[in-house]
Structure 1
Amino acid sequence: MAGEKQICKNCETEFNADFNFCPNCGQKAKDDLTIGVLFYNTISNYFSFDARFFKSVIPLLLKPGYLAKTFVQGKRLLYLHPAQLYLFVSVIFFFILSITVVNRQVETLDNTLQKTAGKPLFSETEENLAKLVDTAQVDSVMQVLKEKNPEIAKQTNLKSIDSLIKAENGNQSLKKGFTWGFDQKKIDSLIAIDAPKSEIYKAMGMSDDASWFSKKIHAQLLKLYKQRNGGQLLKAVYDTIPISLFILLPIFALLLKMFFYKRGPYAYHLVFSFYFYSFLFTVFSIMLIANEIVKIPGFINFLFMLSTFIYLLIAVKRFYEKGWFNSFFKTSLITGIYFLFVIPIAAIILTLVGFMSF
């Protein structure tokens, strides 16, 4: 009815009852709390998950460069903001990655390390025989062993004995599989008697005048050796990737700025990068889900990866308004520099940070 008033539950402003939203704070007039409202508001507030998201997905996937060009031209309310789209899509991607790839790899690595890292280099039989004979005697000793005790002979590796004899100290490190790079028996004995960590580090090869960084490396290596949790190390590396992308993405935009320096300020190239990375995360998410449902042949996955370069090429041509040859040449150079220099350096840094923090 005309003239009726209602009070906003948020700011307590009085306004007409036929208003759908409070004219002061903008809160919905009749906003009954339901499960749907709760989760919609949460997603909408933190990820801007509204109608603009659905309007943005189709052009993001099918019209390379369109969203970036539209945004820099000033049409900034029709589609989702590039940073918001990137944030939302990246969260979805890393969630899918964690439940499909990361958890499986962590478990596999832990199991492998538990099974192989603690195995002795050689069997006791091989070590004892190596101490008693020289290389010239191996064949004759093995012949006698086969006649006297065939079962032990079957368990004895002739090549292993020969390698042990030829080693300078009779204990050549020819371990099949993972090797720690230090004397495990000595480290195990020091751990068993609860020796000071400084003594254990020296037994691992750390010098007396080691730097803080070297001490930290040895401390983490000892932690990994004692816990055999290589999977957690891998998980720590994966956990650093989302943070690293806040550095890698601006570097990609910087490369674009270097090759297309006349095409607007750095912010223009950053907008392009946000939308391109959003496309990458969307495609990779689709690939992960598809591979979980059906085992996709390798060449199909390769075509998916190739499509990202083709997408980038078309996006560059449309956004920077260059010819096909110019676009292809610069896109190839940017991609080459990024994969040959930026990503390898980033991978090394990620592994180091993950190792130091796991």
Structure 2
Amino acid sequence: MGKHLETCKNCEQQFSDAFNFCPHCGQQAKDDLTVKVLFYNTISNYFSFDARFFKSFFPLLLKPGFIARKFVEGKRLQYLHPAQMYLFVAVVFFFLFSFIQREQVRAIDDSLAAAFEKEKNINLKFNKIQLDSIKSIELIQQAIKDSLNKVEVKKLLEDKQIFTGMSDAKIDSLVNTDDFGKNASRDFGFNTKTIDSLLALGTPKDIIYKAMGMEDDAGAIKKRMYRQALKFYESKRGGNIIQTFYDTIPLAMFFLLPIFALILKAFHFKKGRYAHHLVFSFYYFSFLFTVFSLILAINFIVDLPDWLDFLIMLSTFLYLVIALRCFYVQGWFKSFFKGVITSFVFLSVVTPIAFVLISIFAFLFY
């Protein structure tokens, strides 16, 4: 009896009807579209992921470096792929962290709103200060620093000259000092009173940027800095900058993690390819995000003491030392020494640079 051939609906290759699955692409041979077939792959993939996840999750927590070593040795179907593990745990962490983000963004916006409201209600300080009671030049200098109008300050000082005993030369030196009116900028780097006037008049932004101090030949980045600074000043809200900063961190981790693996490669140059160190880094960062997630979850329920949070964070370094010893098959001293140097370089050099870059990015694109 001749063999009957089936044609795969997916790859259109022919095969014997004795096969339940196409030997060329693996699709089920007879897969009439029913509700069962529609959801079969989704459910089966989900439980496959779930089983491998739990087979990987507990060894990840309890056996530092074990899964990474087994994965490099070739046992790759038994455990969840390191990148997949990292993505799953990172998503959970940033989801939990988003609740804290919202609180911080709201708190920053509220604080700035209160500060600017206070600034708005500060008129000429000399209208509220009785210069008769001023006994020292220091208080006068402070009053001048808090003032916004040089001409009015000078007039008031001249009116009260009989009480202060200051000469005309002294008044001129105080009022005309180089740092007079710096308080008007409130650390913005420009005179806010001037900018407020220009904004009220509907002045074109290009002119306002020049009033803020932008040169005519400023580059694209510098122009954007002034544009964002004015945007911040107009909105009086800093929460969006913080939100953009937090939103950038997951993306930044895809650059930081390979750098961590590169540091490991530098200290274990003869211990396998760079991909091996990358596997170790994926699993280690998965452990870190798991610990951070647990800390966040527990603190939502009960506020842990600071000393306990510190001990938990310290445990991540001890985990690293044990993981290095297991994965690279080396002594305790080497593992501890390399763990210290790796952590120091990553936390003291790489992370601060990343923090600055993320902060600049957040300000430029919030």
Q: TM-score range by the shorter chain?
A: 0.7 to 0.9
Provide the rounded CA distance (Å) in 1 between the counterparts of 2:260 and 2:114.
Answer: 41
Give deviations 1:291-323, integer Å, cap 9, x for gaps.
111111111111111011010010001111111
Provide the rounded CA distance (Å) in 2 between the counterparts of 1:268 and 1:313.
Answer: 17
Structure 1 counterpart of 2:183, one-letter code? S
Structure 2 counterpart of 1:271, one-letter code? V
- The alignment of Structure 1 onto Structure 2 pairs a total of residues equal to 330
1:139 partnered with 2:139: no
Provide the rounded CA distance (Å) in 2 between the counterparts of 1:17 and 1:311.
Answer: 52
Kindly state the Cα deviation for residue 211 of structure 1 after the two structures are TM-superposed: 2.0
Aligned to 2:264: 256
Are the counterparts in 1 of residues 96 and 296 from structure 2 also a CA contact under 8 Å?
yes
Structure 1 counterpart of 2:116, one-letter code? A
Provide the rounded CA distance (Å) in 2 between the counterparts of 1:41 and 1:349.
Answer: 42
Are the counterparts in 2 of residues 138 and 162 from structure 1 also a CA contact under 8 Å?
no
Higher mean Cα deviation, 222-231 or 327-336?
222-231
Provide the rounded CA distance (Å) in 2 between the counterparts of 1:38 and 1:344.
Answer: 48
Give deviations 1:64-109, integer Å, cap 9, x for gaps.
00011001111111101111111221122212211x2111111111
Aligned to 1:221: 229
Are the counterparts in 2 of residues 126 and 160 from structure 1 also a CA contact under 8 Å?
no
The TM-score with structure 1 as length reference comes to 0.80
1:63 partnered with 2:63: yes
Aligned to 1:103: 102
Provide the rounded CA distance (Å) in 1 between the counterparts of 2:11 and 2:33.
Answer: 14
Aligned to 2:190: 182
Q: Could you say what secondary structure the match of 2:119 adopts?
A: coil
Give deviations 1:321-355, integer Å, cap 9, x for gaps.
11111111111011001111000000000011111
**RMSD of aligned residue pairs (Cα, Å):** 3.5
Aligned 1:1-358 pairs, distance under 5 A: 19=20, 25-27=25-27, 29=31, 33=35, 37=39, 40-41=42-43, 44=46, 49-98=49-98, 100-120=99-119, 123-124=122-123, 126-128=125-127, 133=131, 137-139=132-134, 161=143, 164=146, 168=177, 171-173=181-183, 179-358=187-366
Are the counterparts in 2 of residues 313 and 327 from structure 1 also a CA contact under 8 Å?
yes
Kindly state the Cα deviation for residue 121 of structure 1 after the two structures are TM-superposed: 7.7
Structure 2 counterpart of 1:85, one-letter code? M
Task: Find the structure with the greater CA-based Rg.
Answer: 2
Q: Could you say what secondary structure the match of 1:173 adopts?
A: helix
Structure 2 counterpart of 1:209, one-letter code? D
The TM-score with structure 2 as length reference comes to 0.78
Kindly state the Cα deviation for residue 170 of structure 1 after the two structures are TM-superposed: 5.5
Structure 1 counterpart of 2:207, one-letter code? E
Provide the rounded CA distance (Å) in 1 between the counterparts of 2:213 and 2:41.
Answer: 55
Provide the rounded CA distance (Å) in 1 between the counterparts of 2:318 and 2:184.
Answer: 47
Provide the rounded CA distance (Å) in 1 between the counterparts of 2:33 and 2:81.
Answer: 26
The gaps in structure 2 that reach 5 residues or longer are 147-152, 154-173
Are the counterparts in 1 of residues 112 and 236 from structure 2 also a CA contact under 8 Å?
yes
Provide the rounded CA distance (Å) in 2 between the counterparts of 1:55 and 1:32.
Answer: 32
Are the counterparts in 2 of residues 89 and 282 from structure 1 also a CA contact under 8 Å?
yes
Are the counterparts in 2 of residues 316 and 327 from structure 1 also a CA contact under 8 Å?
yes
